[in-house]
Amino acid sequence: MPATIHTTALAVFCAFFVLVTLAGFWAARWRRPDGGIHSLEEWGLAGRSFGTWITWFLIGGDLYTAYTVIAVPSALYGGGAMAFFAVPYAIIAYPYMMMVLPRLWAVSHRHGYVTFADFVSGRFGNRALTIAIGVTGILALMPYIALQLVGMQAVIAAMGVHGEWPLVAAFIILAAYTYSSGLRAPAVIAIVKDIMLYVMVFTAIIVLPLKLGGYGHIFSTAAAALATHKPAGSLLLKPPQYLAYSSLAIGSAIALMLYPHTATGVLSAKSANVVRRNAALLPAYSFLLGLIALLGYVALTAGIAPKTAAGTLDSSAVVPTLFISMFPGWFSGFCLAAIGIGALVPAAIMSIAAANLFTRNLLAEVIGRHLTPAQESNTAKIVSLVIKFGALIFVLLASSSYAIEMQLLGGIWIGQIFPAVVLGCFTRKLHPWALFSGWGAGMITGTWMAWSLQLKSSAYPLHLFGQTYTIYAAIPALLVNLALALALTPLFNTLGLCKGTDQTQPEDYIA
């Protein structure tokens, strides 16, 4: 039997999609320099011109994606309290960002760095390490972009529209306005998306509990439902989950700031003070995330249980189905449009960030010379198109579970650039070849841990001294990385291995 098409919701969704499409193309003229967008700094960082509010919307749109809105409630729906790690990890991240990001912004601004790999190249002068940072960033981003498509798929399917053409059409439009407008397009659209997201969440957490008998009833019903799951979930963490929960929060906080799309949002700010203000303002999004997470318990209480074609539970459809079931058509269309637009913004920023990395830190390093500004921007535009359509083909041809599994690896991988990027902005004492060796060891260790779990989880059972400790795989991998970098630095210094040239000065890091 064919699925019912929710006409009103679909019409509202399409209206908002047309609105953001027009905004995306208009953005090419917004704050456009007299000479046009003919450099990577203008196309990929919008000329480093964004103030506090634009940067806030941009970074928020960057970090709180369509898949965040879908995945966090779905994780609570399936397993309960463990999924709340996403809330404290964001809170942990902001003081860390306050300490590190202004320094990285200052040195990047002074030297014209467009990516964190640019900074590593200037700081350590080691081609292998630079390429390693660039490759890691692109590898971590690709499944992240694919997950935005998974979120968009879930939204479109919830309105009863099936087939590949809506997703293909959406991303052709996304590719077109990103190509012409660069980072300005997602910056403009992020404002619309975040306002819609706040309206959606505050309405949902007030109206839905009133319909379902209040939060007391929601929590008691969710607790009973979670106890029947296999494995059983709960509203409160169990003692064996403590280490996994805390290590997931800490490891995810470390990774959050290192993703290339975060770097792109931060380096587009016009001053270090803008970066500091954003580190202070971004906890508003953590508050929002906590409210979004509760929708998982609301869905359990409402009896939402979407199925795949094979008859299994479709966790990615839980939130879209909740909105379709509980709200009138016009408002469910509004909510699904907010989630759908929430896929476009990060997908655009991520593809721009990956294109920046490829152009500056892979192509330039391999050919051994820097491109002209026009060559850089033109190359990055083409690469961003290839990346978007590569992610689209991946999602259309492969199961969404593969994208999720690869994203688990991406979170582990991106944490391995912490020593070179974060420690590197405070000290030059670690030898670049020691950092490269540590990076390789961390990548192998983390990948092996995730692979041994068949990519079904990133929480690895570590056996030590007769005890088993379940810990986020990124943490032991990073510890191996750091230990090797620290151990090899004095050895390589003694052997006289080339340390490279540091192009930065201490005063470069002070805004």
Which runs of consecutive H residues, i.e. helices, occur in 303-372? 318-326, 329-357, 364-367
Q: Which residue has the higher pLDDT, 494 or 150?
A: 494
Q: Is the pLDDT of residue 426 over 90?
A: yes
Q: What are phi and psi of 269, to 5 degrees?
A: -70, 150
Q: What confidence tens digit (pLDDT) does each residue in 361-406 have?
A: 988 777 777 788 888 889 999 999 998 888 888 888 776 667 777 7
Q: Is the pLDDT of residue 344 over 90?
A: no
Q: Which two tokens stand for residue 260?
A: 């290339």
Of the candidates 368, 23, 425, 328, the residue with the CA atom closest to the CA atom of residue 192 = 23
Cα–Cα distance for residue pair 122/108, rounded to 1 Å = 10
Q: Which of 53, 64, 95 is nearest to 286 (CA)?
A: 64
Structural domain includes residue 498: no
| Of the candidate ranges 112-121, 171-180, 242-251, the one whose mean pLDDT is the lowest | 171-180
Mean per-residue pLDDT over the chain, rounded: 88
Helix and strand numbers (H, E) in the chain are 22, 2
pLDDT of residue 35: 59
pLDDT, one tens digit per residue, over 48-72 is 889 988 988 888 776 677 777 888 8
pLDDT of residue 1: 35
Distance CA 391, CA 403 (A): 9
- For residue 28, being part of any structural domain is answered with no
Torsion of CA 12, 17, 22, 25, to 10 degrees: 180
Residues 6+ apart with CB under 8 A from 349: 58, 61, 62, 183, 186, 261, 264, 265
Contact 262, 253 (CB under 8 A): no
**SS3 label, residue 20:** helix
| H helices present in 159-214, as ranges | 165-181, 184-212
Read out DSSP for 124-135? H--HHHHHHHHH
In a domain, 91, yes or no: yes
Contacts of 297 (CB under 8 A, 6+ apart): 76, 77, 218, 219, 222
The pLDDT tens digits for 497-509 are: 999 999 999 999 9
CATH number, domain containing residue 42:
1.20.1730.10
The residues that bridge with 307 in the sheet, in sequence order, are 313
Q: In whole angstroms, what is the distance from residue 40 CA to residue 360 CA? A: 9
* Half-sphere exposure of residue 284: CA atoms within 13 angstroms, side-chain side: 17
The residue that leads in pLDDT, 307 or 350, is 350
- At residue 101, φ and ψ (nearest 5 deg) are -65, -40
Question: Residue 32 region, left (φ>0) first, then alpha (ψ -120 to 50), else beta?
Answer: beta
Q: What are phi and psi of 137, to 5 degrees?
A: -60, -45
Q: Provide the number of structural domains found in the chain.
A: 1
User: What are the structure tokens assigned to 507, written together?
Assistant: 């005063």
Q: Which of 120, 112, 309, 326 is nearest to 210 (CA)?
A: 326
How far is 159 from 258, CA to CA, in rounded Å? Answer: 36
In this prediction, residue 109 carries a pLDDT of 94
Residue range 283-312: average pLDDT? Answer: 84
| Domain-located, residue 26 | no
- Residue type at 171? F
Contact 152, 340 (CB under 8 A): yes
The per-residue pLDDT for 150 is 82
Can you give the C-alpha Rg of the chain in angstroms?
23
Give the pLDDT confidence score for residue 34 in this predicted structure: 63
* Local confidence band at 133 (pLDDT 50, 70, 90 cut-offs): very high
Residue 33, classed as helix, strand or coil, is coil
Residues pairing with 464 in the sheet = 467
Q: In this predicted structure, what is the pLDDT of residue 37?
A: 64
Domain assignment present for residue 494? The answer is no
The 8-class DSSP code of residue 258 comes to T
Chain segment 457-484, per-residue pLDDT in tens: 888 998 888 788 899 999 999 999 999 9
Using alpha carbons, list the distances in angstroms from residue 314 to 71, 78, 107, 131, 204: 11, 11, 46, 39, 21
Beta partners for residue 159, in sequence order: none
Out of 10-14, 154-158, 341-345, the most confident range is 10-14
Residue 257 domain-assigned?
A: yes
Find tokens 């896929």 and name the residue.
343
**Residue 162 lies inside a defined structural domain of this protein:** yes
Dihedral sign, Cα of residue 226, residue 229, residue 232, residue 237 = negative
**pLDDT for residue 290 is more than 90:** no
The arithmetic mean of pLDDT across residues 406-418, rounded, is 91
In whole angstroms, give the CA distance from residue 303 to residue 89.
Answer: 29
314 dihedral zone (left: phi>0; alpha: psi -120 to 50; beta): beta
310 pLDDT exceeds 70? Answer: no
184 within domain boundaries = yes
2 confidence band (pLDDT: 50, 70, 90): very low
Read off the tokens for 215.
Answer: 């939060």
| Claim: this prediction has a pTM higher than 0.85 | yes
Which residues span the domain enclosing 145?
38-397
